[in-house]
Chains A and B, each alone.
Chain A
Amino acid sequence: MAKGVYQTPLAFLDQTFSGDVPSATNIWLTTQKKQVISNILQHSPSFIRVKYWQHESKTAWILSEVGKEKPITVGVVIDDGKIQQLKVLTFRESRGWEVKHNFFTRQFDHVGLNQERRLDKSIDGISGATLSVRALKKIARIALYLEQQL
């Protein structure tokens, strides 16, 4: 496993679906979805679709967003409209590494979206890791939003 990789996407999916990973499906970004995601990211997304894996009410998403300089890759599991698990899979920034720890990502458990498409629970940040924390919150919002569109 390369440096900075804490779990491969495959291992994350394997764990999420107890070894029986469903086929991936794509959700395509319509103009409206692109607008919503741009508002969340505060910049245009460079992707035009997002892959997700679904079994019954559970979906898994793997998304990346740049914190300060490098993309942080995050796996998000959503069940019944709430985050069941958020896990940093790859972290390559030179600062802000604290976000990879479970003590931080645990805060996302059972979090959903409110009507303004913001997280319905406040996430306490980490000093000096502002940009990494921000990237994770954006990824959580995008995954929850896209799950609502299925």
Chain B
Amino acid sequence: MNFATLAKNTGLAVALSIGISPLASALTLEDLAKRLDALEIQNKQLSKENAQLRDAVAQTNDKVEAAVIATESIADSASGIQKLANFADKTTIGGYGELHYNNLSGKGGASDKDEIDFHRFVLFFGHEFSDDIRFFSELEVEHSIAGEGKSGEVELEQAYIDFDLNDNHTARAGLFLLPVGIINETHEPPTFYGTERNPVEKNIIPATWWAAGAGLNGQLGGGFSYDAYVHSGLAVPGTGKNAWKVRSGRQKVSKAKANDPAATARLKYTGIPGLELAVSAQYQQDMGQGLVAGLDSGTLIETHAIWKSGPFGVKALYAAWDIDGSEVKAAGADEQEGFYIEPSYKISEKFGVFARFNQWDNQAGSSASESEKEQWDIGVNYWPHENVVIKADYQYQNNDDGEDQNGLNIGLGYQF
């Protein structure tokens, strides 16, 4: 029943009640008709105002809709939790850093280490030229200050362009981190345990390790992925205190000797949540770039497994070099190898504890040399925010040469 009908019916009821009630005889039918007319006019006025209000509400809805659309950046979705500006859609900035405090006691001839160091300050810059072509770079300041007589360095650690060939395969060219080990490519501090990076990947692989080159990476289906690159190789020194150490052979693509390139390939399986299995192989035609007598080709094999289930995690890695050459063999450095195993447990979202046993030997080819090193680490990570971490760990070394550094490491790290 609409308002007009209701009003009329009510009026009729009133009229009837007046008809049978002598007390109401003061109201004439003419008065009632006038009142009904007035009510009709009022009703029409209300209807008109109501229509105007509906129009105004609809217009407000349209304005709100337009304002929301202008606010939200909807690239592919019906609602966006994403960056707003077009610039941010194409160019990305990120970074990470870590501040370390080491309080280590040396024995057997090893030095004490009491220092605080802004070990790394890194900025990422990426740009998407098109859907299929992307640039990525990483610029790093090590130890806070660089320059003559300073202990720091400014390093261009990555600068490469990816060209997507199709949905599953991408070509990469430029300067990039090699696909070997666990931390070489992913080493933002909140992602790993231990204030310092583990000594096995540091001294054997040797992370962080980048080269200039080109190659392919992609997905093979069933949880398998691959990487295959040809790139600049190491130039391992044959003399001095760093003789035959692969870590000292990193050229960092600074006018790198490129007489003999190297090739690296990796196969990785991540087909079961929580599990990663990977194997990498690298061949270098000449580990000394033709500049070191008695140092020839080298092959690196690295394999690792990561298993995470609920709060439990375990990482295990093994890496070994097999190097040819009379001089390197004489020094026992024709075999260099190491492994570590790292169980961990996340007590809560914010707290995690770990232990790690590391063993490595840069002169494993000779049983005569006292070159095997062992290190135990035990410690805690605290993440006050998912991208910020505070770490503390205790390291205990048991090296064959008797030169040990034992003590406390504390770190602060972040990524964004």
Interface residues of A (CB under 8 A from B): 2-5, 9, 24, 41-42, 45-51, 62-66, 68-71, 73, 89-90, 94, 97-98, 101, 103-104, 107, 122-130, 134, 139, 142
* Selected A-B contacts with CB under 8 Å, 23 pairs: A2-B131, A3-B132, A42-B386, A62-B77, A64-B77, A64-B79, A69-B94, A71-B81, A94-B136, A98-B223, A101-B271, A103-B273, A104-B273, A124-B274, A125-B274, A126-B273, A126-B276, A127-B182, A127-B308, A128-B186, A130-B191, A134-B386, A142-B81
- Measured in the bound complex, the distance between the Cα atoms of B271 and A37 in whole Å is 31
- CB of B223 within 8 A of CB of A103, answer yes
Least distance between A87 CB and chain B CB atoms (Å): 13
Residue B78 is within 8 A (CB to CB) of chain A in the complex: yes
Known: A62-B77, A63-B79, A73-B77. Contact between A127 and B306, CB under 8 A? Answer: yes
Determine if B385 is an interface residue (Cβ-Cβ < 8 Å).
yes
Q: Which A residues are in CB contact (< 8 Å) with B310?
A: 122, 124
Between B82, B132, B274, the greatest number of chain A beta carbons within 10 A of the residue's beta carbon is seen for: B82
Residues in chain A near residue B5, CB distance under 8 A: none
Docked-complex contact A46 and B308, CB < 8 angstroms: no
A94 and B270 within 8 A (CB): no
Given known contacts A64-B82, A101-B223, A134-B386, A126 and B274 CB-to-CB distance under 8 angstroms: yes
Determine the main DSSP class of A at the interface with B: mixed
The smallest C-beta distance from B81 to any residue of chain A, in angstroms, reads 5
Q: Measured between alpha carbons, how far is A128 from B179 in the docked complex, in Å? A: 12
Distance of A106 Cα from B265 Cα, bound (Å)? 31
Distance to closest chain A CB from B198 (angstroms): 15
A51 touches B78 (CB 8 A): yes
- Please measure, in the bound complex, the distance between the C-alpha atom of A62 and the C-alpha atom of B72, giving whole angstroms: 14
CB of B76 within 8 A of CB of A71, answer yes
State whether A3 touches B164 (Cβ < 8 A).
yes
| Contacts A2-B131, A49-B68; A124 near B82 (Cβ below 8 A) | no
How many A-B residue pairs have C-beta atoms within 8 angstroms? Tell me: 120
Q: Does B113 contact A (CB under 8 A)?
A: no
Residues in A with CB closer than 8 Å to B131 are: 2-4
Q: Is the interface of B mostly helix, strand, loop or mixed?
A: loop
How far, in angstroms, from A47 to B84 measured CA to CA in the complex? 10
How many Å lie between the Cα of A89 and that of B71 in the bound state?
22
The chain B residue with its CB closest to the CB of A69 is B92
Residue in A47, A71, A126 whose beta carbon sits within 8 Å of that of B75 in the complex: A71
A128 touches B77 (CB 8 A): no
State the CA gap A111–B273 with chains docked (Å): 16
Question: Is B126 an interface residue when CB atoms closer than 8 A count as contact?
Answer: yes
Please measure, in the bound complex, the distance between the C-alpha atom of A53 and the C-alpha atom of B361, giving whole angstroms: 61
Most buried by A among B79, B136, B162, B274: B79
- Bound-complex Cα distance A65 to B386 (A): 15
Instruction: Known contacts A90-B76, A124-B273, A125-B308; decide if A46 and B186 are in contact (CB<8 Å).
Output: no
**Residues 185-226 of chain B, each 1 if its beta carbon lies under 8 Å from chain A, else 0:** 110000100000000000000000000000000010001000
Complex Cα gap A62–B75 (Å): 12
The interface residues of chain B lying within 8 Å CB-to-CB of A71 are 75-77, 80-83
Q: Are B132 and A64 in contact (CB under 8 A)?
A: no
Partner of B270, one of A46, A65, A89, A129: A129
Known: A3-B167, A47-B72, A103-B223. A90 touches B77 (CB 8 A): yes
Residues of B within 8 A of A45 (CB): 81
**Distance from B122 Cβ to chain A, minimum over Cβ atoms (Å):** 14
Q: A64–B76 contact, CB under 8 A?
A: yes
Tell whether, in the assembled complex, residue A65 and residue B82 are in contact, meaning their CB atoms are under 8 Å apart: yes
| CB atoms of B223 and A5 under 8 A apart | no
Chain A residues in 8 Å Cβ range of B126: 69
B367 interface hit (Cβ, 8 Å): no
A103 CA to B222 CA, complexed, in Å: 10
Point out the residue from B134, B276, B306 that lies within 8 Å of A94, measured CB to CB: B134
Establish whether residues B82 and A66, one from each chain, have CB atoms under 8 Å apart when the complex forms.
yes
Asked if B272 is an interface residue, CB under 8 A from chain A, the answer is yes
Q: How far is the CA of A52 from the CA of B186 in the complex (A)?
A: 36
Complex alpha-carbon distance, A46 and B84, angstroms: 8
CA distance A90 to B72 in the complex (A): 18
Name, among A4, A42, A89, A128, the residue most crowded by chain B CB atoms within 10 Å (CB to CB). Answer: A128
Q: How far is the CB of A6 from chain B (nearest CB, A)?
A: 9
Give bound CA distance, A79 to B289, whole Å: 63
The answer for the CA separation of A50 and B74 in the assembled complex, in Å, is 12
When distances are taken between beta carbons in the complex, the residues of chain B under 8 Å from A47 are 71-72, 79-81
Q: Which residue of B lies closest to A1 (CB)?
A: B167
